[in-house]
Structure 1
């Protein structure tokens, strides 16, 4: 018995994508996921482990719960420390260490299939693009330069700041982008690959398109309430070119 493809490429889903694209005058992109796999060659779990070891080397083992230490997510480690010592030199140093690791990862990041031509085509047809991410904006700029995509986004790159409580799911970076571009939330579209991206978009009043590179991510997005999820950016490219 046939099942509906995870990519959402049925005629009905294609029509829904067409409507999303037609309404979007501004497109807000998450970075790690829809544009590239940042940690494809420099694994995120290794980065998280290094941050935990660095804290333990400073006698700060007790700052993290066992669950946080074993999360394998560097952002969970960073945010956990910030909750306990907000705005401290310790947090600033830890954030800089994460940024350096992200910069290392950017050199071996794997471009998401069809992302580059989708970005260039969307720009060519007159939409304005921005990035709203929990990664460092320095990392985003580094990657975009290697792909020749900087002009498609600059100067609208909104990433992690020292105000770590403003990371997604807080809509802060989305609101910054909308304000700077003079765009109404309803005239924008957010493309993200995580429930926190969806939550931020909902709180900002921005329509959302989920990108899921595998079925597990698709299930997480749908369970969080995402109404539109694609497993590939190829159908977007086809619609934009038409």
Structure 2
């Protein structure tokens, strides 16, 4: 049966209208979910690299990973890594591989210290995430308590926050990488440390992160999770990892926190 042009036009118009309504409904639901997450949270646990800044914006993580591979080769330890692992572009991933094979060794200790040094260098050229500084200050001003729960060096995080005038918004609740690398996320160790130290129930808290490890750590700790993704690929990755709520900007969070602060005055 051949449809007439008028019928085809009506069908197309109906399909487009239905699509717009469906998308509008989805955005409305997501906005409502976001507002509920933000206004309910009395404690906020931030991952560092991503939600607060792009740590390796000017000091590429890939270059650090390559330097680790060269360092191991110079020391005659190239056999510690497989051919596939030598291609890793994440220095933390390389550190964890070495720790799995030589846990608690001097090699791991030295490698972790080298990573800390490289992270401190990277912090000097890190790119602050848009709206992050203002969001942190505003959340603090309205009485929310903040913590950092990260796989990065706590020493580096202290330095970055101090240089941005943000240290008082978090200190003393900065929980970074420890010498026990098995406690890195996705293990919830750093989240649980923060919750215990602040006397926070998991349901009163919110974690903001940008990785599958963050999603899993929050799930294990029983903490509601909000994903931050600076592009669509990252957003899809987080949703596939189980994140139900993902934003591509911190601007809407800032507006919700501001509004909530005015309402409570």
1:222 to 239, 253, 263: 239
Structure 2 residue aligned with 1:165: 182
Q: Displacement of 1:10 after TM fit?
A: 2.6
1:80 aligns with 2:97: yes
Decide whether aligned partners of structure 1 residues 184 and 69 sit closer, same or farther in structure 2, where only a CA change above 3 A counts: same
Structure 2 residue aligned with 1:122: 139
Structure 2 residue aligned with 1:187: 204
1:23 aligns with 2:3: no
Which 4+ stretches in 1 moved above 2 angstroms? 1-4, 9-12
When normalised by structure 1's length, the TM-score is 0.96
Distance in 2 (CA, whole Å) between partners of 1:3 and 1:152 is 41
Distance in 1 (CA, whole Å) between partners of 2:87 and 2:244 is 32
Structure 1 residue aligned with 2:113: 96
Decide whether aligned partners of structure 1 residues 3 and 33 sit closer, same or farther in structure 2, where only a CA change above 3 A counts: farther
In structure 2, stretches of 5+ residues that fail to align are 1-15, 260-265
Q: Displacement of 1:3 after TM fit?
A: 7.7
2:61·2:90 contact (CA, 8 Å) conserved in 1? Answer: yes
Q: Displacement of 1:14 after TM fit?
A: 1.6
1:212 aligns with 2:220: no
1:156 to 173, 197, 201: 173
1:46 aligns with 2:72: no
Distance in 2 (CA, whole Å) between partners of 1:70 and 1:154 is 37
When normalised by structure 2's length, the TM-score is 0.88
Q: Displacement of 1:216 after TM fit?
A: 1.0
Matched residue SS, 1:66: coil
Q: Name the count of aligned residue pairs.
A: 240
Structure 1 residue aligned with 2:83: 66
In structure 1, stretches of 5+ residues that fail to align are none
Distance in 1 (CA, whole Å) between partners of 2:86 and 2:186 is 21
Q: Which has the larger radius of gyration?
A: 2
Matched residue SS, 2:84: helix
Distance in 2 (CA, whole Å) between partners of 1:131 and 1:66 is 35
Higher-RCO chain (CA-CA 8 Å, sequence separation at least 6): 1
Matched residue SS, 2:214: helix
Structure 1 residue aligned with 2:154: 137
Deviations 1:132-169 (CA, angstroms, capped at 9, x unpaired): 00000011011101110000000000000100011000
